[in-house]
A and B are shown apart, each in its own frame.
Chain A
Amino acid sequence: MDKILNLLEQNATYTVEQLAAMCDRDEDELRATIDKYEKDGVILGYQALVDWDKTDREYVSAFIEVKITPKHDFGYDKVARTISQYPEVQSVYLMSGVFDLAVLIEGKTLREVAYFVTHKLSTLEDVMSCSTHFVLRKYKDKGVEYRVPDADIRGEL
């Protein structure tokens, strides 16, 4: 596995120049490799982790456990892809266990999220039931703790 992927996952702001120097690779070769990762859908995007609670944005999020109606000859892909189309949906996972899909959704208000669940998600043909859990506070996401980073107060002899 290519170490570059770990490094970019940790910090997408690394430039090709930095990555090439850090990993002893040729800049042009690395640029081509990353282009290919993007083309092949290995790298799908580069995003910042924003703690919306620290901004004035109105924001709520919820995890929804979705059960799918069992059907003969049925794959989950179709319904998962359909759910993924809604812009308010942040993530969709197929799960083992008592429910089938875990859906993370974001909205401005509780009411907006409730509306999405009652009017859009639960009315989908294949959706049997939804169980909604509102997020009260985010502590960690994508390996990063949601708190103000400590100041560098390391001492020295």
Chain B
Amino acid sequence: MIDYSKVLSSTVSEMKPSGIRKFFDLLQGRDDVVGLTVGQPDFVTPWHIREAGIDSLKDGKTYYTSNAGLEELRVEIANYLERRFSLKYDGASEVIVTVGGSEAIDLAVRACVEPGDEVIIPTPCFVCYEPCVRLAGGTPVILETKAKNNFKVDPEELRALITPKTKMLVLAYPNNPTGAIMTKEELEEIAEVIRDTNIVVLSDEIYSELTYGRKHTSFASIEGMHERTIVASGFSKSYAMTGWRMGYIAAPKILAKQMLKLHQYVIMCAPTTSQFAALEAVKNGDSDIEMMKEEYDRRRKYLLKRFAKMGIECFEPEGAFYAFPNIGKFGLSSEEFCERLLNEYKCAIVPGNAFGETGEGFARISYAYSIKHIDQALDRIEEFVKTI
């Protein structure tokens, strides 16, 4: 019989499954559970965007596109980045259309990171950076952001972690799971720390359109940072297009060229139907973003108001569609809290430690749900916390 332990890569075998999944799986097939676990929009992709995808199929556009993606789409992404975030990229040579922001992250890491390299990852954060770094043979170095700093990267703490081996810094703002953002001034302080180094920044800006109050500042727009920033972004969150698997990379030509090689060999090109839909989205979707954002903002405000009434401390999330309340005062670990909430009150949320050790004492609550659904879940949380 084959010995699978000899077959499988130890790097992969040792990789832990995502901690979000664990809780998500627990509630599958249980319609008595009200969950706030999902990290994707509850809107359906706006019709004009879906229609553009459908029309492309009707017109027989079923071929591979060029490896980097439809040129028109890349040019429109560049226009969009300039229009929305004052970024300047050449669509023809500095934009790669990827299979979601997920592939964009993987390309950026693998194009830069080699065995021995260190990648600084501020946590709590989305779950994919660490495994991507490990797959590339790199060493993740965790920067623990703090609730007292509103989960922003502290420049001095960053400086302390930099070594001659530091290859890359991940910045993921607006942040999943905390909803934190970083302002232009705060990013400028980060820029000061790395300005004279050879550290490249992977800026995951997938939630860039979902900020409440202030407009998002891209790290690439900070003075002098364009040359060292790889912007990974996509269509999933801003246009409610998760299922289309559409993302992109924007980076200086020399970096883009190498990432494109990887993308060519591994993916060939992003799905063509989705590219046509995405083209419609970047060209004519600004008002859809606005509509969805307003709705998220109302839910966000409602959620915060209810937490305040329940006496649960929650720093004000200014981006994405998550709140990250502090559940430390209830004297349970995040996992215990979430497990008991699920078992005793049939409400599912994700324990904060699924996003890194620093998330301990917190829980992620997604508000990509209707107010009615959010209300039901919060009623259960309220009942639960009364008993502990």
**Chain B CB within 8 A of A23 CB:** yes
B302 and A154 form a contact (CB under 8 A):
no
**Dominant secondary structure of chain A at its interface with chain B:** loop
A21-B127 contact in complex given A14-B371, A156-B39, A157-B39, C-beta closer than 8 Å: no
**Chain A CB within 8 A of B88 CB:** no
**Chain B CB within 8 A of A109 CB:** no
**Chain B CB within 8 A of A40 CB:** no
Chain A minimum-CB-distance residue to B127 = A157
Q: Which bucket holds chain A's interface residue count?
A: 10 to 19
**Chain B CB within 8 A of A24 CB:** yes
Contacts of B20 in A (CB 8 A): 156-157
Per-residue B-contact encoding for A4-48, CB less than 8 Å = 1, 0 else? 000100010110001001111000000000000000000000000
Contacts of A157 in B (CB 8 A): 18, 20-21, 39, 127-128
Contacts of A154 in B (CB 8 A): 38, 40, 42, 242
B40 and A23 form a contact (CB under 8 A):
no
B375 and A18 form a contact (CB under 8 A):
yes
Chain B minimum-CB-distance residue to A15 = B375
Contacts of A152 in B (CB 8 A): 38, 42
With most chain B CB atoms within 10 A of its CB, the pick from A11, A13, A155, A156 is: A156
Q: How far is the CA of A156 from the CA of B176 in the complex (A)?
A: 13
Contacts of A22 in B (CB 8 A): 298-299, 301-302, 371
Q: How far is the CA of A11 from the CA of B295 in the complex (A)?
A: 13
Contacts of A11 in B (CB 8 A): 371-372
B298 and A13 form a contact (CB under 8 A):
no
Chain B minimum-CB-distance residue to A150 = B44
A21 and B305 form a contact (CB under 8 A):
yes
Contacts of B24 in A (CB 8 A): 155-156
B298 and A23 form a contact (CB under 8 A):
yes
**Dominant secondary structure of chain B at its interface with chain A:** helix
Q: How far is the CA of A22 from the CA of B306 in the complex (A)?
A: 11
Chain B minimum-CB-distance residue to A24 = B301
Per-residue A-contact encoding for B1-39, CB less than 8 Å = 1, 0 else? 000000000000000001011001000000000000111
With most chain B CB atoms within 10 A of its CB, the pick from A14, A24, A154 is: A154
A21 and B372 form a contact (CB under 8 A):
no
Q: How far is the CB of B346 from chain A (nearest CB, A)?
A: 15
Q: How far is the CB of A153 from chain B (nearest CB, A)?
A: 9
Q: How far is the CA of A21 from the CA of B375 in the complex (A)?
A: 12
Per-residue A-contact encoding for B298-328, CB less than 8 Å = 1, 0 else? 1101100110000000000000000000000
Contacts of A13 in B (CB 8 A): 372
Contacts of B128 in A (CB 8 A): 157
Contacts of A7 in B (CB 8 A): 298
Chain A minimum-CB-distance residue to B126 = A157
Q: How far is the CA of A18 from the CA of B305 in the complex (A)?
A: 9
Q: How far is the CA of A152 from the CA of B42 in the complex (A)?
A: 9
A156-B21 contact in complex given A18-B302, A21-B305, A21-B306, C-beta closer than 8 Å: yes
List B106-125 residues whose CB lies under 8 Å from chain A: none
Q: Which residues of A contact B (CB under 8 A)?
A: 7, 11, 13-14, 18, 21-24, 152, 154-157
Closest A-B pairs by Cβ, 4 of them = A22-B298, A21-B305, A156-B24, A21-B302
13 more contacts with CB within 8 A, not counting A21-B305, A152-B42, A156-B20, are A7-B298, A18-B302, A18-B371, A21-B301, A22-B299, A22-B301, A23-B301, A152-B38, A156-B24, A156-B37, A157-B20, A157-B21, A157-B127
Q: Which residues of B contact A (CB under 8 A)?
A: 18, 20-21, 24, 37-40, 42, 127-128, 242, 298-299, 301-302, 305-306, 371-372, 375
